[in-house]
Chain A
Amino acid sequence: MGFLFGLLPLVLSAHDVSDGDQQLLDSGGLPSYIWVGAKHMLTGYDHILFLVGVIFFLKSFRDILVFITVFTLGHSITLIGATYLGVTAKEHLIDAIIAISVLYKGFENLGGFEKVFKTASPNLLAMVFCFGLIHGLGLSTRLQSFAMGQTDFLAKIISFNVGVELGQVAALIPIIFLIDRWRTKRSYGAFYKAANMYLIIAGAALAIYQMVHYLQNSQ
């Protein structure tokens, strides 16, 4: 755990708005929004970790397609809607909730609801949609931390969203490939437990880290 906490400052730096990105957006037009969106998705570990958790639970390509589509629909609604309307969330607070979604997925995949609460897991498709909405609000808050100007405002939001989807696809392809190949191996059980236990640890650590910063900034 100490090792993981030691890595946490890196998480924050990955979520920062960088001057380089801002300069790119200032001069690069709509393609730069696609690039920054994709970059954010690929470096924003929490989004990817949540998707890893979702994919672990699914076995067929059709299911993966359905769940990823629902997640995409959810985060696109809040990403485009909140940005267009200028609705922002407290950054550390929304990041903490996103981290909890990672913890949730690892916990569910390990049968936590059955073992701990003696009950069935909530409907996964509905939960993925709800968490998609929350992830979209986090992405929107991040996008709004850039100075976007008023010109082509909607087009910039949509371009960023397109970038997010492209980044998501780029990240998922190797992950799906790895999980699918490992599924037939004898060691898959240990891998499944290790990966989902990691999601719980990482989700909990990220959530604590974000809440500490939220409380510090609230003082």
Chain B
Amino acid sequence: MSTPPAPNVPPVVVDGSGRMLRLGRKLGQGGEGAVFELEGEPTLAAKIHHQPLTPLRAEKIRVMAGMRTEKIDGLAAWPTNLLSLPSGIPIGLIMPKVVGHKDIHHLYSPKSRRAEFPGADWRFLIRVAANLSRAVATIHEAGGVIADINHSGVLVGQDARVRLIDCDSFQIVDAGKTYLCDVGVPTFTPPELQGLLFADIARTPNHDNFGLAVLVFLTLFMGRHPFAGRYIGLGDMPIERAIGEGRFAYGADATSFQMERPPGAPPISIVSPAIAGLFERAFARESRERGRPTAREWASTLDAIEGQLRQCAFSPSHWHFSGLPACPWCRMEAATGVALFSTDVSPGSAAHFDIDAYWRRVIAVEHPGAAPPLESPDAKGRVRASVEAVQFKQRRALHRLYALIISAAPLPLVLFVSVPLAGRLLFLVAAVVLYFVARTLVRLTNDTTVFRQKARMDHDRLEKVRDEWQIAAGPGRFDAKRIELEKLRGLWDESRDLQKRKQRERDDARHGAALNRFLDGFDIEAAGVPNLNGNRVPMLESFGIETAADVVLDKLDSVPKLEKKTRDALVDWRASLETQFRQEHASGSVSFDEQLVEREALAEQMRIEAALRSGLQDLQEIQKQTLFARISMKTKVEEAQRAYVQSSSDLKAVGR
């Protein structure tokens, strides 16, 4: 956009006390100017305007620099000094550099939240909204008005603390003089100021309170704007108009305003009734007189809900208002397939691919249906023959007439000239020969081949276009992709079943081998089994029964005359040792080899999952392309159709 042309950026600027400063790297870009680092001042940044500042603006910055307090410095990037060009023309300001903070819009949209604020749940969002309210309250109590409150004027840190930026546009009062703000973002502007020019308007905290409520709403309601609803009336309902007319899409009266909450957006009930009440008051048209909730009210009400939050039993990243019967985020995520809060996915775990939710999305891609039927070219019937065909027919009729006249020329001789009969016959033969020659000539000079060829070409082209239409506009590609997805799903199911079975087998094998090793450590001699006196032990040993591991039924059976009592005692002993083993090894560790195998199987499953995901995108793409082809190819098909109907009518007209 308006990247300032290089010559406009001064290399050296001068602050209020005459100190020369050099600009460093560009940090950002705004509507009025750009923000730069200041060489040698790591904690400061310089905002340089594209245009020199007006004297009033320069004075405002000087005044603001004098108003600083520690409290303000903690929550706002307040101007600390005026910057001028070496020639003395004021061009910008110095302010504290805000490090490690991100635009609030990165926090409130689910998509960017997952990337920019991993781990931020709804508790975090509430804390940010409360901190924002506290920051605004502080400015109000210092006599300032933010005036141009908007989505890019608030930065948020990973600890949920906020910093206000673009402070030089705030409206401030000093020594009885008010320095106005001449800008504003319409979607954050209260109804009473919609459509007005800001330059001459003194803003009030009540105006700010509208923008604050919008920003709090965006933060708590997954980035949805309170006035961006589905309008059921006729025509468009831009946000500015909806604000002006008080059409709060989530309000109790939304229906009477012909507004509906957008599909997949949270209902107002996700917040406590107290907070819902604040929103209603903030967005009602009457509030321009009665007053909207103040920043202080917001802060205390938001603080209160922090004590009324509950964690979802199914998804640890879901925190919600405890007054609800069920977790609203689970329901929203199931409906839209969007992860609203980032979850910590432990590596190597495939359990997070919800195959059922995925499959619901596949089924949701509507089948494009058969290609709309094309009219059969014969159905159109015949059209009027073209000028060429008509002219051809006329020319040929004329030629035929000439031919007839020419071939008839000898006839009078036959009738009227007195020649012998043989001569008369000769004339007659000549007339007949002439007729055939002339007819052939007429046929040769009036060849219909051109029409035949044209008709055949147009016919072939129509066939080709119809084939193309079937491929592009028909459901064939869609069906093929669906079958592919079904196969992939089969593979996924198999892979999961296989993994489960493998896991079981591994468990069995692992526990079997380890159990044997464990049991082998217990000599039957030391077992203290009753009825097992000294000389029975060597006897058992001679039958290969030395440790608990050997106490298996077929070995015991091979020992002659083993008393039932002894035998039962041995079996019980082994059973108690097994139980002991299981208790000790309930959570056995996995060997490295086993881990490798597991990982490979998992990788395979994840490959299938990736194929499923991209396949779903392909399916959606194919569906769109198919519907698109039905529009974009229509003219081409119709043209080919028209051409064919014309040329076949022409051919009929001229005869074959």
Chains A and B come from one and the same complex:
no
B residues lining the A interface (CB < 8 Å): none
